[in-house]
Structure 1
Amino acid sequence: MNNSVKPYVVKIPFYIPYLFPKRLWHFSRKHKIVYLTFDDGPIPQVTPWVLDQLKKYNAKATFFCIGNNIQKHPALFAQLKAEGHHVGNHTFNHVNASKTSFNEYMENTKKAEVFFNHPLLFRPPYGKLDTKKAEALLEKKYQIVMWDVLSADFDPTITPEKCLNNVIENAKNGSVIIFHDSLKAEKNLRVALPEVLRHFSEKGYTFKAI
């Protein structure tokens, strides 16, 4: 997701999934399950702490990893999988689809693809993905995973409490929630994530990987 402070929407409008039905936005609203996702890792400064927090609640999550970070921290990537979390492709260099040619974008995605087993999950950096690139990824059997709740932990202009409220006030049954295991998000993440886990656990929710 977005690592720069630009206009963003915390709660995806209800009609967006209907406009892009081949992308995964949320799961069934019938069950008390939420799906935590973490973008931009893995990095040793943040990801191990995230894993510790998840473990306290027996929570499973999905990590959309940057290939370059996997290459630099292979043991940490292996730990994600060993602890029962799922992993997805977030390109090799966190490239922006709106600023990258079709061939360059697909090559960057393919460069990261070697780290992932089927089923192939993909989340576009910055949430940007035009139709041509999306169709090419679908042809390669990727599940494109979007979200319906954005924590905005990456935004240094908001307080950790605001980050927490973004999730508490908008997540519901079946929500796919975005956090980031990144240095930019760390300040907000370290406050919001434990409280999100506690809040939804106390309400009887479970946390599953995609």
Structure 2
Amino acid sequence: MNKFLVKYPSVLRRLYPRRWTKMEIPESIYLTFDDGPIPEITPWVLDLLKEYNARATFFCIGDNVKKHPEIFRRILSEGHNVGNHTFNHLDGWKTSTSAYIENVFKAEKVITSEKNEELQTTNSELRTTNYKPQTTKLFRPPYGRIKNSQARKLANFGYQLVMWDVISWDFDSELTEEECLKNILKNSEEGSIIVFHDSRKAFKNLQKVLPQVLEYYEKKNFSFKSL
């Protein structure tokens, strides 16, 4: 996607109406975080979300879930939703459909395994948790790039494709914190799905911008919901 396309193109909304870009829920914002879980970064995000009693959705890379299962389980235990972001952050445009689907399934295997572990902990009475099993498998393509053949196959396997209404471009090292914040506040509205990244590359902007976004919409009496 072009870096200047902060708002999801309206032509793509019309071409692919079944892909989620916005939710028709008044006074609500949908924060999403791609590429984690990452030590230090994802726990920082979770701590901040807890301060605002905010729920979000984390689109996780399977390999990162495998490396950091304890952080992934914390995401679930604190009541957030999770989605699949492939196992190796694949670019769908540069990957064959068969290889892409196989990589998604590889990620799903790890994600499902850790969900089951968290559910067993929930039911063991060792501790209380906010985790509730999801009924919909969420998927977001890395880079926003996916072939129609890949999207069709994923839909056939029960995945809901999630894009966005607004992308913050927090990962762009040339973008200032002020520009990143402006991207969000100028373009977001009720029901917007907003993309952040809980990655080291994005943290410079994320740590300054996310608290301001949470405070801004809290003052407007918006709810922060998970998908």
**TM bucket by the smaller chain?**
over 0.9
> Does 1:15 find its partner at 2:11?
yes
* TM-score for both structures, normalised by structure 1: 0.95
| 1:203, distance to aligned residue in structure 2 (A) | 0.7
- The amino acid across from 2:174 in the alignment is T
CA distance in 2 between counterparts of 1:190 and 1:134 reads 33
**Alpha-carbon shift at residue 118 of structure 1 (Å):** 4.0
Instruction: Count matched residues.
Output: 205
Is the CA contact (8 Å cut-off) linking 2:37 and 2:68 kept in structure 1?
yes
**Which stretches in structure 1 are left out of the alignment for 5+ residues?**
none
Does structure 1 retain, via aligned residues, the 8 Å contact 2:33–2:195?
yes
- Give, as a single letter, the amino acid of the residue that structure 1 aligns with 2:75: L
Which amino acid counterpart does residue 171 of structure 1 have in structure 2?
A: S
User: Residue 170 of structure 1 is aligned with which of 181, 187, 201?
Assistant: 187
RMSD of the alignment, in Å? 1.2
Q: Say if 2:80 is the partner of 1:63.
A: no
User: Distance between the aligned counterparts of 2:135 and 2:23, measured in 1?
Assistant: 20
Q: Which one has the bigger helix percentage?
A: 2
Deviating 4+ runs (over 4 angstroms): none
1:134-167 superposed Cα distances (whole Å, 9 cap, x missing partner):
0000000000000010100010001011111111
SS at match of 1:35: strand
The residue identity in structure 2 corresponding to 1:202 is: K
TM-score normalised by the chain length of structure 2: 0.88
Q: Gaps (5+ residues) in structure 2?
A: 113-133
| 2-structure distance, mates of 1:174, 1:93 | 30
For 2:161, the equivalent position in structure 1 comes to 144
SS of the counterpart of 1:143? strand
Provide the secondary structure at the position in 1 that maps to 2:155: helix
Among all aligned residue pairs of Structure 1 and Structure 2, give the percentage whose two residues are the same amino acid: 51
- Cα offset for 1:103? 1.0
Determine which of 159, 183, 207 is the counterpart of 1:190.
Answer: 207
Pairing 1:160–2:177 present: yes
> Which of the two has higher C-alpha Rg?
2
